[in-house]
Amino acid sequence: MEMRNIALLGSTGSIGTNTLEVIARNRDRFRLVGLAAGESKELIEEQVREFAPEIVSVKNKEDAEALKAKFPGLKVYYSGEGLLETVSHPAVDTMVSAIDGTTALEATLLSIRNNHRICLANKETLVAAGELINRELARSRAEIIPIDSEQSAIFQAIGHNSKDAVKRIILTASGGPFFKEKKENFKRITVKQALAHPTWSMGAKVTIDSATLMNKALEVIEAFYLFRLNPEQIEVIIHPQSIIHSMVEYIDTSILAQLSLPDMRLPILYSLSYPERVPFETETLNFSELRKLEFFDVDRETFPSIRMAYDVLKTGKSSGAVFNAANETAVDYFLKGNILFSDIFAVVEEMFYNETFRSVETIEEINEIIRHTKEKTAGVIERRFGNENNM
Ligand code: MG
């Protein structure tokens, strides 16, 4: 296997630290060339000491100067431009996208133009800009290998089979903590309850998205652009044990699934090592201890997130960007205690079903739509809930 030279965007988050662990265990295969992170100064310093990257980008100028003073040989940049600088380092051939927000979008486009392998953990990229990304990919030698556990499972189960042989893909969802809850109880769900995910340990935003099934909705959209199937070929099933990470049914009715204990290091490793497999020492799945694998249908009335995902696929254009940005804003307000859990759905639905969508040609247009949607969503929230919750 050739050495992979990696730019890791979002090195201090959950995907980022897991990626570094995978790199640390495979230093003969993976080399960290650059990292980009936010404001976790101590952790960034620790990572620089351990992995000796050539280039680092942090959030602000002061932190960049402090880091430069400590590591004189290191190239240090800051802000969104610094992040793009990191992706542009000539030694980089592989980019891990584990940051949130629209900067990830710009970084991905840059990586596509640089013919990188893009190990994609950021969902916004394909949800907000799937059409644009696929157009750019068609003109480049770049490839996207998904890190998301469900997309990785489908990617692995499809393998070298032709797309024409695929009948449907079945995305599994853990269901989060509330998939059996009655809709009328959603009002009483606290932030703390919503943050207690039964099987995966992740950042706050994605944990809330798992509880609302917005995360699965985003994955439906992501899968549509990644695997280029028809909306009717994409299904969702709740599987609380998170052992089957997703499945592919072929035209002959054979179903291939990918199974493992829930551990993000595995899809990260595969995204880096593909098409090869490399050994990984960890706890393995013990079938005799595995008592049951359960499956439940998603109630689309209780979880309108899933219904909206299919409406995004039907509509195309800017609808994915609007859907994602409205949800991001709503989750933000929920985490701050300003709206109720049930309001997340109400807010996103109000935004989504009252918007007219347009086709997007450039990243600037997408960024503008995201900015506008966030502003408008905040306005909707202030108007609907401002007085009662004393914002
Ligand atoms: Mg996932």
Q: Which residues contact 177 (CB under 8 A, 6 or more apart)?
A: 193, 194, 196, 197, 198, 211
Distance 282 CA to ligand 1 centre (A): 20
The model's pTM: 0.94
Distance 8 CA to ligand 1 centre (A): 19
Distance 261 CA to ligand 1 centre (A): 14
| pLDDT over 70 at 191, yes or no | yes
Confidence at 387, pLDDT banded by 50, 70, 90? low
Task: Enumerate long-range contacts of 73-78, CB under 8 Å, 24 or more apart.
Answer: 74/48
Strand segments (E) across 127-230 = 143-146, 166-173
Burial 192-203 (b: 16+ CB within 10 A, else e): eebeebeebebe
Mean pLDDT, residues 18-25 taken together: 98
Distance 216 CA to ligand 1 centre (A): 7
Say if CB 84 and CB 110 are below 8 A apart. yes
Distance 202 CA to ligand 1 centre (A): 10
Distance 291 CA to ligand 1 centre (A): 23
| pLDDT over 70 at 388, yes or no | no
The share of the chain scoring above pLDDT 90, in percent, equals 92
Q: Output the CA torsion 119→218→313→143 (10° steps).
A: 0
Confidence at 2, pLDDT banded by 50, 70, 90? confident
Q: What is the pLDDT of residue 100?
A: 77
User: What integer best gives the mean pLDDT of the chain?
Assistant: 95
Confidence at 390, pLDDT banded by 50, 70, 90? low
DSSP SS3 for 14: helix
Distance 152 CA to ligand 1 centre (A): 9
Alpha carbon distance 210, 160 (integer Å)? 30
Distance 122 CA to ligand 1 centre (A): 10
Alpha carbon distance 327, 349 (integer Å)? 9
Confidence at 264, pLDDT banded by 50, 70, 90? very high
Distance 121 CA to ligand 1 centre (A): 9
Q: What is the pLDDT of residue 391?
A: 56
Alpha carbon distance 239, 175 (integer Å)? 7
Confidence at 338, pLDDT banded by 50, 70, 90? very high
Distance 150 CA to ligand 1 centre (A): 5
Distance 255 CA to ligand 1 centre (A): 20
Q: What is the pLDDT of residue 288?
A: 92
Tokens 């770049």 belong to which residue?
142
Distance 219 CA to ligand 1 centre (A): 7
Distance 218 CA to ligand 1 centre (A): 9
Distance 196 CA to ligand 1 centre (A): 16
Distance 100 CA to ligand 1 centre (A): 15
Mean pLDDT, residues 115-119 taken together: 98
Q: What is the pLDDT of residue 157?
A: 98
Alpha carbon distance 124, 331 (integer Å)? 15
CA-based angle 179:185:187, to the nearest 5?
A: 110
Strand-pair category, 234-238 with 75-78: unpaired
Distance 389 CA to ligand 1 centre (A): 32
Mean pLDDT, residues 283-312 taken together: 95
Q: What is the pLDDT of residue 202?
A: 75
Q: Which residues contact 354 (CB under 8 A, 6 or more apart)?
A: none
Say if CB 211 and CB 185 are below 8 A apart. no
Q: What is the pLDDT of residue 206?
A: 87
55-114 pLDDT tens trace: 999 999 999 999 999 999 999 999 999 999 999 999 999 999 999 777 889 999 999 999
Say if CB 108 and CB 120 are below 8 A apart. yes
131-189 pLDDT tens trace: 999 999 999 999 999 999 999 999 999 999 999 999 999 999 999 999 999 999 999 99
